[in-house]
Chain A
Amino acid sequence: MDYSPYEQMVVVLARDLGDWERGHVGGVRAEIPWAACLLAQKMQAPNLQIMAPPGMQPQVSAIVHDVGDYRLTRRCEALRNFGDIFRDSERGGLDWFFYSGLQIDKYGNFNLHFVGDWEKPTLRGPGLVFAAATTTGKHFYLYPIHHDKRVFVEKVDFISGAGHLDGPGGRERAGITTEGPRLCVTPRCVFDFDPESKVMRVKSLHRGITLDEVVGNMGFSPVLPGKLPTTEPPTTEELRLLREEIDPNSILRP
């Protein structure tokens, strides 16, 4: 069956979420992490705790594009507010969060604030919500919806969210005790991070994508493993759940 790049991104993220883990969603295309969380709940993680900004464990008839929409939480187990989110995250109670990113560098630091000089930027980005999860959450996921040289840069112009900072030991030196970036999932491939160098490493290429299409569209050289597998495409069951139960309005297939 044919599927969209967004659906491929959703299933990669969904498969990585563990049962009983806690987290919530963000980013410029929030339908992608929303769908990943809901799919994980229906597949391997029935006890996944979705702690969304408006409400806990939302019962969703169809995902939407944004984060706080009340169509997502008019049926949920408890309402939620920023005081709750502040306490839960500063205390270190979240397992993960999702970010997109204007710029992402080889250590998984990301920038949503300034392109260029802070005083005189060529682009002032929107900023972001909930960078706290990069330092207090157990780990986080990056899901840039564009895979190009503007996004993947050698060094970000501003650290809005903390990846491995300046490389091995960077997080520890800054007093951060958690894992940091875990996967970076793009419309072309999946990256993880090399355990030694902490540099982004190609994990798998999506079906039909060449290595050159991945590396040739980046401003730094990712680590290349000896073998480059193809990303496991969405299964029939994953696509059925996505299309019938999670995304009946097909917003993941724009």
Chain B
Amino acid sequence: MAVARTSKVGTLEAAAELIKDGMGIAIGGMLAQNAPCAMVRQIVKKGVKDLSTFAAPPVGYPVDLLVGAGLVKKTHHAYCGFEYLGFAPNFRKAVEQGEVDAVVCDEAIVAGGFMAAAEGMPYHPLRSPKGTDYININPLLKEYTPPWGEEKLVAVKAFDIDVALIHAQEADEYGNIRFLGSYWLDPTMARATDTVIVTVDRLVSNSRVLSEPYLTAIPGVFVTMVVELPYGAHPCASHMIHMQDEDHLIEYVRLGRQNLKNEDPEAFPGYLKKHIYEPETHLDYLEVVGGLKRLSQLTVPV
């Protein structure tokens, strides 16, 4: 009898065991799209601390939540906020109070840092930071003269990442990851470190993956653990499955702002208690945010 191939399917709790104090964590998706929110909530629940985040490039909820829970010492991203819904309240407060070292990057700087790590190179060349102040404040940037050409370029140092957290729509049990919309920078992040955790809205069969290989964006060989987690991106969107929960994000920003403005010190801790510390499982969380009645409203006919 043939020896069985090993499944990479795990649980949120088992995935969180892979994340330790002081680690550099990459967070996939973009803004309110495809963010690994359930995984990030599990980190908050566990209380993993002193984290360095490397996000998206532009990000919102996941980084603001980790910062708001007091678990982050350093951040790297292009933009952190909620677009038309407002600034990221916890991120803003923590940086203004000097509690978090926010390394100032543009999108190309973040992409370059991830690309260098994925290529195993010490740095990635950039052209675009010329003339701006990024080079005057970001310790990961240096101007240099390349061996060919007259033009001076900027080198961004490879990001030092211990674990990548990604949300996708589909995977098989061997960790072959399929995106039904844009995959943003996630496949590059997955190659930038040896520990890669992917949450997916649904598992599909290996037979289906074999018959549609053009949909696999991250081959299973690069994935450590896959967790099946319907609505694992909530309150952000999972492309082609559901859109972002705008009402929830508005309420999140409102509670965070009360913390920012020192109007109600209990407002944001109250959010964490209700949505993270009290619900035992992800399914319990989904009930807290309105259950099927709310979640079914987030579906867009395709």
Contacts and interface: CB of A to CB of B under 8 A. Distances in A.
Do A and B make up one complex?
Answer: yes
Interface in B163-217: 181-185, 188
Interface string A117-148: 01011111111111111111000000000000
B128 A174 contact: no
Interface in A155-209: 158-162, 165, 170-171, 174-176
B107 A130 contact: yes
Contact of A128 (B79, B112, B131): B79
A131 B152 contact: no
Given A30-B84, A55-B182, A68 B79 contact: no
A233 interface: no
Contacts of B300: 70-71, 74
Interface stretch (A11-19, A43-51, A80-88, A224-232): A80-88
A89 to B, nearest CB: 7
Nearest to A125: B87
Interface of A, secondary structure class, is loop
Contact of A65 (B83, B98, B137): B83
Interface stretch (B1-9, B19-27, B236-244, B281-289): B236-244
Contacts of A170: 131
B62 to A, nearest CB: 14
Contacts of A90: 108, 126-128
A122 B91 CA distance: 14
Interface in B286-302: 300, 302
Contacts of B112: 86
B83 A54 contact: no
B95 A132 contact: no
A41 interface: no
Given A86-B108, A129-B107, A160 B132 contact: yes
Nearest to A126: B81
A124 B95 contact: yes
A65 B84 contact: yes
A134 B127 CA distance: 11
Interface stretch (B29-37, B44-52, B262-270): B29-37
Contacts, number: 173
A79 interface: yes
A53 interface: yes
Contacts of B98: 120
A5 to B, nearest CB: 16
A10 interface: no
A34 B130 CA distance: 28
Given A135-B129, A159-B133, A79 B182 contact: yes
A124 B96 contact: yes
Highest count of chain B CB atoms <10 Å: which of A74, A85, A123, A124: A124
A136 B80 contact: no
A93 B126 CA distance: 15
Contact of A54 (B78, B80, B129, B239): B239
Contact of A127 (B33, B79, B84, B111): B79
B104 interface: yes
A208 B57 CA distance: 41
A133 B185 CA distance: 18
Contact of A73 (B32, B130, B182, B184): B182
Given A82-B30, A86-B111, A127-B79, 14 more contacts: A54-B181, A54-B182, A66-B32, A66-B84, A70-B239, A70-B300, A73-B182, A83-B111, A85-B107, A86-B107, A132-B128, A134-B131, A162-B131, A176-B130
20 contacts: A28-B84, A53-B30, A67-B83, A68-B30, A70-B33, A70-B240, A89-B108, A118-B137, A120-B98, A121-B95, A123-B92, A126-B81, A126-B87, A131-B106, A131-B128, A131-B134, A132-B107, A135-B131, A158-B137, A162-B131
- 10 closest pairs, A vs B, by CB? A126-B81, A132-B128, A174-B131, A162-B131, A82-B185, A65-B84, A131-B106, A124-B95, A70-B239, A86-B111
